[in-house]
Amino acid sequence: MTDTLLFFHLLGAFCFFAGAAVAGTLQLAAIRRERPSEILAFLRLTRAGVALVGIGALLTLGFGIALAEHYGIGFSPAWIQASLGLWAASMALGGYGGRTARHARYLAERLAAEGDAPSAELRALVAARGPLWASYASGLLLLAILGLMVWKPA
C-alpha cells in the first residue's frame, strides 16, 4: 500500500512541476511574438501544461494526505502544515497568473480572425508584469514544497 501511495504522490509531483514548466515556457515564448496568430498558437498549447498542473495538484494533495494518514502522522508535523499552505498559495498565484494568459488567448483569437495585425493591447496583456511575477512566485513556492518534502524539517 505504501508503495502505491508514494508512486501516485510522486507522479503527481512530476506532473505538477512538468505542467508548470510547460506553461511557463510557452508563456515566455508567446511574449516574444508579435502576430496574434503566433501568440495564440503558444497560448493554446499552454492548456496542456495547465491540465498537467491540475492533475498533479490533485494527485499530490490526495495521495500526500493519504500517505500522512497511512503513516499515522496526520497533519500535525509543521512541515506538512507548511506544505499544505504553500500548496494553496501556489495554486492561487498560478491561477491569478494563468487568468491573464487566458484573457490574452481570447483576445489573440479575435485579433487573428480580424486580420492578424500586431496589437499593443495584446502585447501588454501577454507581458503583464503582475501576473508574470505571480506565476514565477508560484513556481518558487513549488520548489519550497519540494524542499519540505525532501528534508522534512522538525
Distance CA 117, CA 108 (A): 10
Distances 24 to 100, 139, 144, 149 between C-alpha atoms, Å: 13, 9, 18, 23
C-alpha cell at 28: 515566455
Angle (CA) 21-88-98 rounded to 5° is 45
Query: Which residue is associated with the grid cell 501516485?
Result: 8
Question: Per residue in 14-51, pLDDT tens?
Answer: 999 999 999 999 999 999 999 999 999 999 999 999 99
Which three cell numbers, joined as nine digits, stand for 22? 510547460
Q: What is the mean pLDDT of the chain?
A: 95
| pTM for the full predicted model | 0.89
Q: By three-state DSSP, how is residue 68 classified? A: helix
pLDDT tens for residues 93-151? 999 999 999 999 999 999 999 999 999 999 999 999 999 999 999 999 999 999 999 99
